[in-house]
Chain A
Amino acid sequence: GAVVSQHPSRVICKSGTSVKIECRSLDFQATTMFWYRQFPKQSLMLMATSNEGSKATYEQGVEKDKFLINHASLTLSTLTVTSAHPEDSSFYICSARASGGAGEQFFGPGTRLTVL
């Protein structure tokens, strides 16, 4: 199956700093990438959807100026958490879809963010 990687797998940062998380589709071109957030014992919550070369579409309640998403190529999307605060501590998971609306979505292994 298709492989999606994330880097870093875990990051600890101080409050007020910015953190960038990378998501890569390793063996396919992802026209659409998704970013999810998962709090302990809860399900994945979609934060935003990004299509290569265009601006991301954010879900209601997600601050686009705080969670910057860049999908500059068909194999790479980045999520930058700006001015991180302890409440941003969470498990961030990306997902990539190959093509069209019916394409399978493949999930990355996730990034554990801890803001001190």
Chain B
Amino acid sequence: KNQVEQSPQSLIILEGKNCTLQCNYTVSPFSNLRWYKQDTGRGPVSLTIMTFSENTKSNGRYTATLDADTKQSSLHITASQLSDSASYICVVRTDKLIFGTGTRLQVFP
């Protein structure tokens, strides 16, 4: 069964700190892996997309990693800002998009 699991479920950090979100997947066949940011009451916005051969991809303060052997991905946020408060969703594409349940990040001043 195709599944995408994320941890932690929720996370609270102070402004300026770094954090790392985890994603494990059992999806076959694998096409690509995406990280999305979803603000409350809004649609998801793409942060990064990685294919099988890519290990790391950055987008500003966001850095995603992918280990296709262990089927794990992480999203590292550097120097967090209040506006980073949102849900972060790991999505793996096979013949369709398989969504993780997300990590709810709250950044406090």
- Point out residues on A near B: beta carbons under 8 Å: 1, 4, 6, 41-46, 49, 91, 93, 95, 101-102, 104-110, 112
Contacts and interface: CB of A to CB of B under 8 A. Distances in A.
B101 A110 contact: no
Given A43-B99, A43-B101, A43-B102, A112 B44 contact: no
B97 A108 contact: no
Chain B facing A: main interface SS: loop
Contacts of A44: 44, 89, 99
Q: Looking at A44, A45, A49, A108, which has the most chain B CB atoms within 10 Å of its CB?
A: A44
A107 B43 contact: yes
Contact of B44 (A1, A42, A107): A107
A41 B46 CA distance: 19
Given A46-B97, A107-B36, 9 more contacts: A6-B43, A43-B101, A43-B102, A45-B99, A93-B43, A93-B44, A101-B95, A104-B46, A106-B46
Contact of A110 (B42, B49, B89): B42
Interface residues of B, number: 18
B83 to A, nearest CB: 17
Contacts of B96: 46, 49
Given A43-B89, A44-B44, A110-B41, A105 B101 contact: no
B68 to A, nearest CB: 18
B103 to A, nearest CB: 11
A110 B97 contact: no
B45 interface: yes
Contact of A109 (B42, B49, B97): B42
Contacts of B49: 104
Nearest to A101: B95
